[in-house]
Amino acid sequence: MTSVKTACPYCGVGCGVLAKADGTVSGDPDHPANFGRLCSKGTALGETVSLEGRLLAPRVDGVETGWDPALDLVAERFRAAVEEYGPDSVAFYVSGQLLTEDYYVANKLIKGYIGSANIDTNSRLCMASSVAGHKWAFGSDTVPGQYADFEEAEVIVLVGSNLAWCHPVLFQRIVAAKKARPGLKVVVIDPRRTATAKIADLHLSIRPDGDAALFNLLLEQIDARGLIDADYTAAHVDGLGDAVKAAHGSDRAMTGLSDTEIDQFLDLWCGTDKVVTLYSQGVNQSVCGTDKVNAILNCHLATGRIGKPGCGPFSITGQPNAMGGREVGGLANMLACHLDLENADHRHAVQTFWASPAMADAPGLKAVDLFQACADGKIKALWIMSTNPAVSMPDADKVVEAIRAVPFTVASDIVIDTDTNRLVDVLLPATGWGEKSGTVTNSERCISRQRAFLPAPGQARPDWDIIADVGRRMGWHDAFDFASEAEVFREYAALSSVSGMLGRDFDISGLADLGDQAYDAMPPTYWPVPRNAASGGRFFADGGFYHPGGKARMLPITPPDRKPVGAGLRLNTGRVRDHWHTMTRTGRSPRLGMHMGEPYLEIHPEDAVSAGLRDAELAVVENPRGRVILRVLITAKAQLGSVFAPMHWTDITASQSRINALVDAVTDPVSGQPASKGANVTLKQFEAGWYGFAVSAAPMEPTRPYAAIARCKSGWRAEVAGVRLPESWESEARAVLNLPDGEASVVEDPAGGVYRVAIHHGGQLLGLFFAACEPVTVARSAAVALIGTETPPMAALAGVAGAEQPDRGATICACFDIGSEQIRRSISDGARTVDALGACLGAGSNCGSCRPELQDLIDAVAPVKMAAE
Ligand code: SF4
């Protein structure tokens, strides 16, 4: 079986993958993003390609149809809406999961043929502030540097980035660089002490949104220490004086840091030319996200530390093709190939190239405004592609109602059941990772081929093909007569020559003549790739910015006022290590489900005391917008006054845990990016009458007041809780386990508050249910391992691991499936370093994503051990 070279569909690192039709995956040693490494999510990709739950045929009102009736209906309803209410009565909401070819055709259809710019991408939620900051400073949305800069830097500053969990392979490249050059210093600026901080020489637990103040302080010091690059700024930068003036007198208190911490940071940043400042969602997802980006860019422009080996600002994107979406015009305020929608010359050039009948002439609705327009009845037809806004948008409950308010709704997706797909009229089956072919661009401007290694299942079709078919059915046959993704790519590359001729950065015209074979064989390629000129490389070392006159612009930044948080706590949202977005794929992997089996609330010990919460209990987290229930995780890594909760859980995987229901739909005024880390919440104890843990061979659903479902090796596992004790524990167990049949064995100890049920069939154990009046402490991995075996009822109900099958604990190393208890035992047996754990268990020796957690366990276990020795 031959391996196919493709690209990982998760984060913006954009790792190369070798994949086989049997689902075997490994890192591509030749890919310049990862050189053979994969993280836990990438390593488990093979577990996500099954056809379980796949959407295999078009559905209209829940009934399977062929393509013709479904697409005729879509074309007719969009055409009717445009005719009756005008082009801006329709909208597309698309995704960084789409390939560039998909994005190109969607963008061409709505901006160039329907004549509306009402297309926005879920990338608006993760990096729109970086786009806006780049455009303000550089005149274009250009990432100046490359990943190699991390390996050449002397100081790396990570701002608002939990790189260890969200971009693990890039984090491992930094870890390797630091190991090779111990002089490399790492600064982590993040209110939380995340796994990333494990390698930090300096961790700054900054006050939320204090970043702009900190980088203003830095600019002030750059000036005070005489570090402004006079030649560079004179030749290539406008606005230096005003920006420096605004930075002077910055208030240290706005950062929430001590003078010592601030001075250490200033000394490190100012102490070398080779400094890279990487930033991510902690910077972007804010009401002042664009200001934060520009505060960072100001410092690099003032010092000329940009576009040279080992230095520069670096925005890392969340999604696999967020960058491709930016390049191709997936945002409501951009045209294809980094051309500007508001520039009449750019519009005219694109309209001429497309021969389009009705070109959009004004920016469309950004994501939050788009769903508000849905709620207001202004959108008559909405097409959602490869994304789940009912979970991921801020004020998510309102977004559910907004989608319901649209007269005609369509979703293209790979799975049948998502919170969003439950709301729409038409479902269109798209091909998924492993089946589709095209290109993606990663965070360092590297275009990679994603190649099919599996056949398209059922009636599934590539997104670009579905969109083009609708375009043809709307009457624009020639413009959407694409025969292949290669043909789409050639047209896109040819359009980029227009961009190049207009003096823009995005030019891949050198790829416009690729034949089908050459397109198929295209190696990872850094843009720009102009015709007959040098390609790739860094930007801006010698100026060459994209504002008229060729100069960059520094912007005076005024940090936001400190607003009182009120009675509540600030809610920070984000990702966990082993899940991706709304878990439609990672949720299928038993390995990935064992790391974090349920949603949680990370809270500082003092805040937990104030809220009356104890570890492992359940908390109700609420505000006027919504209410969720989360497991309490008390840790000093949380910042006092802030709590953190992951964004992955949906109504499919948990009963009340859609965290974006709590997030206010306020946005950065320039970028339109929601402030996903800025909600205010109050906490109280969930008054559970009982807590439970269940594991079943049958699929379970989150039906109890609190329930979180995860896949596991033997089937499904669930954490549950109820308010009142049930009348029959057997009935309760059968309902939770989804096992109406089989023989039940029940143990009840009302005095001790312990209730246990096992379900067997033909001697085989099918389900186990443990309930108690306190959070249950059974050995979960041991219980999971018993399902499908012939373990007798009383042994199974003991709830403790047997000597022959000791408890493994929660999965820490997903690559080798090693649990926390196994690791603790090895540490106690003498493995006192991460490498030693790798040698005896394998843990941490593949992708490395778990190495910070391994070190945490060593720190927790080994000092106790040594004190006793
Ligand atoms: Fe995929 Fe992990 Fe690489 Fe990101 S770091 S692209 S999730 S393998």
SS3 668: coil
Beta bridge partners of 426: 60, 410
Q: Find, among 318, 320, 326, 270, the residue nearest to 134 by Cα.
A: 326
**How far is 807 from 783, CA to CA, in rounded Å?**
9
Residues 6+ apart with CB under 8 A from 137: 294, 297, 298, 301, 552, 553, 554, 555
From the CA of 170, give the closest atom in ligand 1. 5
> Is 31 a pocket residue for ligand 1 (Cβ < 6 Å)?
no
Backbone angles phi, psi at 280, to 5 degrees: -145, -145
Give yes or no for a contact between 71 and 63, defined as CB atoms under 8 angstroms apart. no
**How far is 142 from 544, CA to CA, in rounded Å?**
12
User: Distance from the CA of 693 to the center of ligand 1, in angstroms?
Assistant: 31
Best residue for ligand 1 mutational test, from 6, 25, 38 (most atoms within 8 Å of Cβ): 38
DSSP state of 644: E
Beta bridge partners of 644: 572, 602
Best residue for ligand 1 mutational test, from 40, 47, 97, 169 (most atoms within 8 Å of Cβ): 169
Which residue intervals of 160-210 are DSSP H helices?
A: 163-166, 168-180
User: Distance from the CA of 33 to the center of ligand 1, in angstroms?
Assistant: 10
Averaged pLDDT score across all residues of the chain: 94
User: Distance from the CA of 232 to the center of ligand 1, in angstroms?
Assistant: 36
**How far is 671 from 649, CA to CA, in rounded Å?**
27
Give yes or no for a contact between 276 and 149, defined as CB atoms under 8 angstroms apart. yes
- Burial class of 23 by CB neighbour count within 10 A (0 to 12, 13 to 18, 19+): middle
Backbone angles phi, psi at 453, to 5 degrees: -130, 5
Query: Which long-range CB contacts under 8 A does 549-553 form with residues at least 24 apart?
Result: 549/238, 550/236, 551/236, 551/237, 551/238, 552/137, 552/138, 552/139, 552/236, 552/237, 552/238, 552/301, 553/136, 553/137, 553/139, 553/237, 553/238, 553/239
Tens digit of each residue's pLDDT (9 = 90 or more) over 333-357: 999 999 999 999 999 999 999 999 9
* 162-200 burial code (b ≥16 CB/10 A, e <16): bbbbbbbbbbbbbbebbeeeeebbbbbbbbbbbbbbbbb
Structure-token match 């690559």, residue found:
815
Which pLDDT score is estimated for 565? 56
> Is 125 a pocket residue for ligand 1 (Cβ < 6 Å)?
no
Give yes or no for a contact between 307 and 541, defined as CB atoms under 8 angstroms apart. yes
Q: Quick one: average pLDDT of 738-745?
A: 97
> Is 42 a pocket residue for ligand 1 (Cβ < 6 Å)?
yes
DSSP state of 257: -
Residue whose Cα lies nearest atom 2 of ligand 1: it is: 39
**How far is 783 from 758, CA to CA, in rounded Å?**
11
> Is 9 a pocket residue for ligand 1 (Cβ < 6 Å)?
no
From the CA of 39, give the closest atom in ligand 1. 2
**How far is 67 from 731, CA to CA, in rounded Å?**
44
User: Distance from the CA of 455 to the center of ligand 1, in angstroms?
Assistant: 23
- Burial class of 2 by CB neighbour count within 10 A (0 to 12, 13 to 18, 19+): exposed
Between helices 211-224 and 240-247, what is the axis angle to 10°? 110
User: Distance from the CA of 234 to the center of ligand 1, in angstroms?
Assistant: 40
What is the length of the chain? 869
User: Distance from the CA of 653 to the center of ligand 1, in angstroms?
Assistant: 23
CA distances, 318 to each of 97, 125, 161, 555 (Å): 10, 10, 10, 26
HEC sequence for 434-445? CCCCEEEECCCC
> Is 13 a pocket residue for ligand 1 (Cβ < 6 Å)?
yes
Q: Quick one: average pLDDT of 290-316?
A: 97
Tens digit of each residue's pLDDT (9 = 90 or more) over 680-698: 999 999 999 999 999 999 9
From the CA of 27, give the closest atom in ligand 1. 8
Give yes or no for a contact between 819 and 712, defined as CB atoms under 8 angstroms apart. no
Beta-strand runs (E) in 750-850:
754-761, 764-772, 811-813, 818-819
Tens digit of each residue's pLDDT (9 = 90 or more) over 80-119: 999 999 999 999 999 999 999 999 999 999 999 999 999 9
Best residue for ligand 1 mutational test, from 34, 162, 442 (most atoms within 8 Å of Cβ): 34
Which pLDDT score is estimated for 861? 86
Using pLDDT thresholds of 50, 70 and 90, give the confidence band for residue 804: low
Using pLDDT thresholds of 50, 70 and 90, give the confidence band for residue 865: very low
Q: What angle do CA 769, 773, 778 make, to 5 degrees?
A: 45
User: Distance from the CA of 28 to the center of ligand 1, in angstroms?
Assistant: 12
Which pLDDT score is estimated for 93? 98
From the CA of 580, give the closest atom in ligand 1. 7
> Is 814 a pocket residue for ligand 1 (Cβ < 6 Å)?
no
Q: Quick one: average pLDDT of 608-634?
A: 96
- Chain centre to alpha carbon of residue 496: 28
> Is 330 a pocket residue for ligand 1 (Cβ < 6 Å)?
no
CA distances, 849 to each of 238, 574, 583, 830 (Å): 42, 17, 19, 22
Least confident of 453-462, 621-630, 833-842: 833-842
> Is 39 a pocket residue for ligand 1 (Cβ < 6 Å)?
yes
Name which residue leads in pLDDT, 178 or 868. Answer: 178
DSSP state of 18: E
Element spanning 272, H or E: none
> Is 168 a pocket residue for ligand 1 (Cβ < 6 Å)?
yes
Element spanning 295, H or E: helix 289-303
Tens digit of each residue's pLDDT (9 = 90 or more) over 468-502: 999 999 999 999 999 999 999 999 999 999 998 99
Give yes or no for a contact between 643 and 601, defined as CB atoms under 8 angstroms apart. yes
Tens digit of each residue's pLDDT (9 = 90 or more) over 176-187: 999 999 999 999
> Is 848 a pocket residue for ligand 1 (Cβ < 6 Å)?
no
SS3 801: coil
From the CA of 40, give the closest atom in ligand 1. 2
Give yes or no for a contact between 115 and 360, defined as CB atoms under 8 angstroms apart. yes
> Is 15 a pocket residue for ligand 1 (Cβ < 6 Å)?
yes
Residues 6+ apart with CB under 8 A from 494: 353, 509, 512
From the CA of 7, give the closest atom in ligand 1. 6
From the CA of 34, give the closest atom in ligand 1. 3
Evaluate if residue 214 carries a pLDDT over 50: yes
Which pLDDT score is estimated for 862? 77
> Is 38 a pocket residue for ligand 1 (Cβ < 6 Å)?
yes
Evaluate if residue 255 carries a pLDDT over 70: yes
Backbone angles phi, psi at 131, to 5 degrees: -60, -50
Residue whose Cα lies nearest atom 4 of ligand 1: it is: 11
User: Distance from the CA of 609 to the center of ligand 1, in angstroms?
Assistant: 38
Using pLDDT thresholds of 50, 70 and 90, give the confidence band for residue 869: very low
Predicted model pTM: 0.94
- Burial class of 559 by CB neighbour count within 10 A (0 to 12, 13 to 18, 19+): buried
Would you tell me how many other CB atoms lie within 10 Å of the CB of residue 377? 12
Give yes or no for a contact between 337 and 498, defined as CB atoms under 8 angstroms apart. yes
> Is 552 a pocket residue for ligand 1 (Cβ < 6 Å)?
no
User: Distance from the CA of 441 to the center of ligand 1, in angstroms?
Assistant: 13
**How far is 797 from 757, CA to CA, in rounded Å?**
7
In the structure encoding, which two tokens stand for residue 138, read together?
Answer: 């550089």
From the CA of 442, give the closest atom in ligand 1. 6
Q: Quick one: average pLDDT of 856-867?
A: 69
> Is 34 a pocket residue for ligand 1 (Cβ < 6 Å)?
yes
* 741-758 burial code (b ≥16 CB/10 A, e <16): ebebbbbeeeeeebbbbb
Dihedral sign (CA 847, 849, 852, 856): negative
CA distances, 507 to each of 143, 227, 338, 460 (Å): 14, 34, 9, 32
**How far is 837 from 308, CA to CA, in rounded Å?**
39
Evaluate if residue 868 carries a pLDDT over 50: no
User: Distance from the CA of 34 to the center of ligand 1, in angstroms?
Assistant: 8
In the structure encoding, which two tokens stand for residue 852, read together?
Answer: 């910070």
Q: Quick one: average pLDDT of 193-204?
A: 96
User: Distance from the CA of 249 to the center of ligand 1, in angstroms?
Assistant: 42
Best residue for ligand 1 mutational test, from 6, 25, 41 (most atoms within 8 Å of Cβ): 41
User: Distance from the CA of 8 to the center of ligand 1, in angstroms?
Assistant: 6
User: Distance from the CA of 362 to the center of ligand 1, in angstroms?
Assistant: 36
HEC sequence for 693-744? EEEECCCCCCCCCEEEEEEECCEEEEEEEECCCCCCHHHHHHHHHCCCCCEE
User: Distance from the CA of 11 to the center of ligand 1, in angstroms?
Assistant: 5
> Is 449 a pocket residue for ligand 1 (Cβ < 6 Å)?
no
Dihedral sign (CA 759, 760, 765, 766): negative
From the CA of 8, give the closest atom in ligand 1. 1
Evaluate if residue 838 carries a pLDDT over 70: yes
> Is 11 a pocket residue for ligand 1 (Cβ < 6 Å)?
yes
Using pLDDT thresholds of 50, 70 and 90, give the confidence band for residue 817: confident
> Is 12 a pocket residue for ligand 1 (Cβ < 6 Å)?
no
DSSP state of 54: B
> Is 167 a pocket residue for ligand 1 (Cβ < 6 Å)?
yes
In the structure encoding, which two tokens stand for residue 69, read together?
Answer: 């009736």
> Is 847 a pocket residue for ligand 1 (Cβ < 6 Å)?
no
User: Distance from the CA of 496 to the center of ligand 1, in angstroms?
Assistant: 28
